[in-house]
Chains A and B, each alone.
Chain A
């Protein structure tokens, strides 16, 4: 592993920032030296406010992701197994899918008010579409002989879904889940920045409004860390689960 080479660039970029701040001195309302951002990160970790914010963000994320991807999974299996259904819904899906999920924030706020539910609803909407599309294509790519076996054994719809479709599509479905989880974090933080007063996104907004740049950069770094760690962990899980099948894509997102 040559992992150390990746660390050099951030250090080289951040060191001059630190030096400039030290030399110029004084206060800024919009920027902070890296050392003070690190100190702020440690202090909000220590006093627990970062933990509370993360718990709120990740809690809503998980609930929304579970709702959206399970609904997408069910709909994707249904569409993947019925050509008629697929042909009847493709236009509707193509019309609904491109609506930016964040545009639904005002509507969700109108319906649910502030709190967990409005955020969960928007995350569920956002993650439903990729989950639906990827499940559908995963089902369509199942070896036709497997579905023939199911027909030969006269499996019921439920049995076919549970015993043939889900196991055969599992590697692609975990990839779908990883992509949806990344999207869910983006939507969660965005919802908190735009309207919902809780979680990490709101912490960011408060830090900006109270002119505490060091805190803002600390939370930003933390959010990046969560996103990166999330992706890396799910990728590792994918490789570990399906290493023997060798059909997992390498995860370099394109």
Chain B
């Protein structure tokens, strides 16, 4: 078959085009109400208009900033705290069960508490984003420290490295792949919580934009918001994969 010989990228684009064509045909034939599923062209129009003249650009920036700010704060805190817990085996034994419990708690469930403590402001949303996206990185950091090769620990003891030097020279470099994997997970969580926070508090952003579009039955605007959110998620996760490759290059070279 000719299809098989095509490069994967071309095949992927063809597949995507086929899906969009199917979407177009379904809406053109009127199989699904336009209130639920606008035509692809209408969605693109809404997207272009919103990014050019409408509020979509500002909302996109607001949500992205919220996600990145919360994620960065959470990552710094998580790596610091994770290193502290990670160096001591005793601390790990005492804290792991509590961490496992906190992690299995749906982060959105703390939103009611955050609202009653801080109110419906931007700091509430940021706080929830930070709280939720701390866990994956924190647990990954602890995990990375726990998996340090025992011989390296012996080396550290022989060299009489201080705790700080151990963290900087052995612990953290060793935990980098785990930490980055955790941070990738944290970033997805941060985006989700930013959207939920905006929906509940009415702060500016794509979350509230989608909610308002749905309430006003502006389906094309709703889908435009969804497309943008998908793109933010896609680009941020690919960006991190790229960083991950660069940062762990030394490791792959060493393993070779």
Contact = CB atoms under 8 A, between A and B. Distances in A.
Nearest to B112: A208
B105 to A, nearest CB: 4
A10 interface: yes
B252 to A, nearest CB: 19
B225 A103 contact: yes
B120 to A, nearest CB: 11
B109 A189 contact: yes
Contacts of B68: none
Interface residues of B, number: 71
A95 B116 contact: no
Interface in B94-137: 94-98, 100-113, 115-117, 136
A237 interface: no
A90 B109 contact: no
Interface stretch (A65-73, A104-112, A139-147, A158-166): A104-112
Contacts of A3: 97
Interface in B199-217: 199-200, 206-207, 210-211, 213-215, 217
B108 A190 contact: yes
Nearest to A207: B112
Given A98-B234, A216-B116, A106 B106 contact: no
Given A92-B16, A254-B143, A201 B104 contact: no
B110 A220 contact: yes
A29 B118 CA distance: 12
B113 A110 contact: no
A208 B119 CA distance: 11
Contacts of B211: 106
B182 interface: yes
Contact of A208 (B113, B230, B231, B232): B113
Interface in B54-79: none
Contacts of B107: 186
B254 interface: no
B237 interface: yes
A37 to B, nearest CB: 11
Interface stretch (A15-23, A45-53, A81-89, A149-157): A81-89
Interface stretch (B44-52, B160-168, B190-198): B190-198
Contacts of B196: 102, 190, 193-194
Contact of A107 (B4, B178, B207, B214): B214
Given A8-B94, A9-B95, A193 B195 contact: no
B253 interface: no
Interface string A4-18: 011111100000000
A5 B93 contact: yes
Interface of A: 2-3, 5-10, 29-31, 83-84, 87-92, 94-96, 98-107, 109-111, 182, 185-186, 189-190, 193-194, 201, 204-205, 207-208, 211, 213, 216-217, 220, 223-224, 227-228, 230-231, 252-254
12 contacts: A84-B1, A84-B3, A87-B15, A98-B229, A98-B232, A98-B234, A185-B106, A189-B106, A220-B105, A220-B113, A252-B139, A254-B143
Closest 6 pairs (CB-CB, A-B): A6-B97, A98-B233, A91-B12, A106-B214, A227-B104, A208-B112
